[in-house]
A and B are shown apart, each in its own frame.
Chain A
């Protein structure tokens, strides 16, 4: 186990190095720098004079070739210093951590909901396997699965926000009144704003998870111990939940590890559509503003989470099922 962990961590470290190296190069090759992109667009007269530009370039280390700059950046990362953002004039870590709660509100709710709903739906379709209602359910879920998130978001916005006026169209809080609200009302306000983004983030994966639960159950139901349980007179619901479903938990737990990166990066597009002030917004803005340190910080975080998720899936698998040996 230990040897396995050490080996995987080493490989992961090499992968991370390669990823950051490639992306650092790419980002520095984008036309424009954080110093030129902003000013020129706002007002031509605000454009920096060549001398100032040179001075600032030097101060931010933009005059060095990117390979050298990468080595500096890497050295700082080892000292847990991700640099400071050009746009926000704050340490990158703080910028990212500030955005974290907003993203987590969406992703944690959506992951929990999708698991709960798909376990229920999976149990239902295993119990009704092959009948009309199961067919209809899986067909409907398949349609949802193919429904593009951008299209769904725009449809929902149009229907629920523009036509019916039930829900806010975007943003995370009602800006005009938010400061006058009590704590309870504030929570309600944020929840109200989060309904549409959460629905958008959740509906697509339902089909995938439900089918996952369903096929696993289908396999377990054929086992002898399920037949034994039925033979000794256990009711159908109890057989399904206690005898069959418990034994499908292993693959489900493993999948939890793989959803880890989705916790922070899953909603990039959705956040952008709903102007939700989280990680996704930050990422899009930092790309357009060429905010190198923020982009690199986010890239580092996303890829670390992906690697950690894969590792977690493997480790969980071995922990839950003692028959699995890691090697």
Chain B
């Protein structure tokens, strides 16, 4: 005979509930998820390669070539498509073939010419490239569609945030935890290293590291941003470990004879993670900002890569093309705003002082 006590909601669940109650923060989260979907389905939204096609009796997915060029089936190369899949060519080579096309027939890497798509004129260049029926966000100097560049650039904007902050988080939590838990000389050493990295101006360090790599790719940039952004996280984790180490439940765990890995990973770490979430959210925003600023200044990854910052840079060269400034600029602003709102929302959901004042 045992009375069933309903399980009280855990800390994470409670935080999530409080986070969800803030409409601004939750809509920011929904926006980020939406961007994630855009990034995932970018080749299906804007592209010049069919999503699915049936060609000479087989089914192919040429649009995957946008993710990785080797995923395009070599048969198209052999049959002389030369990476341009126009409906006309499909019909000429195999009248029985059918294709499902992306929503917008525009390519992020090249100019679409006249009559590639039935009835669609060639992309305008220079000042004529203002937003139109065929080019929703206009075209750049060379006539490459801006909308499709932005859709494909979403991946970079999101990846920069996730990958660089992932690296920073892993570094920060590991170093902070080691320092806080071990104490003594190890702690002092790690604290000094943190201070050194903290005192080097971020931009100086990033540019120096980027210059060391001969041909920096977007991945190098993410690693470099990650390697410079971990100091705050390390300091917070260390402080949390120092505090939690003294708590009764850790003493109890010790008294039970648990080894240190179990104490660290099962008992201390889960409790130390929540305060770290806030700087991570803000860090994602600043990582995106750094990438955009560097690409904008021409210190980022070389084209062709449709990063939003690179697009903004093109608009800077010819200032009459306002659409090259307006659309990417707004996109960068919105994604930074969303991450800041998420960070703010997390702060409110976690911070006990703010919680109390809300009633």
Contact = CB atoms under 8 A, between A and B. Distances in A.
Interface string B188-226: 000010011001110111011101101000000000000
B336 interface: yes
Given A146-B333, A148-B332, A302 B204 contact: yes
A209 B319 CA distance: 33
Contact of B201 (A143, A158, A265, A272): A265
Contacts of B296: 150
Contact of B329 (A155, A169, A287, A302): A155
Interface residues of A, number: 42
B292 interface: yes
Interface SS majority for chain A: helix
A23 B204 contact: yes
Interface string B306-329: 000100100110011010011001
A19 B337 contact: no
A135 to B, nearest CB: 12
Contact of B203 (A143, A147, A148, A268): A268
A154 B329 contact: yes
A149 B212 CA distance: 27
Interface in A152-186: 154-155, 157-158, 162, 169
Contact of B204 (A14, A162, A283): A283
A272 to B, nearest CB: 6
B289 A299 contact: no
Interface stretch (A25-33, A94-102, A229-237): A25-33
A227 to B, nearest CB: 19
Nearest to A147: B333
A30 B207 CA distance: 10
A148 B299 CA distance: 17
Q: Which of B207, B208, B292, B332 has the most CB of A within 10 A?
A: B208
Given A158-B322, A265-B201, A299-B201, 11 more contacts: A15-B195, A19-B199, A23-B200, A148-B336, A150-B292, A150-B293, A265-B203, A269-B203, A272-B297, A284-B207, A299-B204
28 contacts: A19-B199, A31-B211, A31-B212, A142-B340, A143-B337, A147-B333, A147-B337, A148-B289, A148-B292, A150-B312, A150-B332, A151-B312, A151-B332, A154-B325, A155-B325, A155-B326, A158-B319, A158-B322, A158-B325, A265-B201, A265-B203, A269-B297, A273-B297, A283-B204, A284-B297, A299-B201, A302-B200, A306-B201
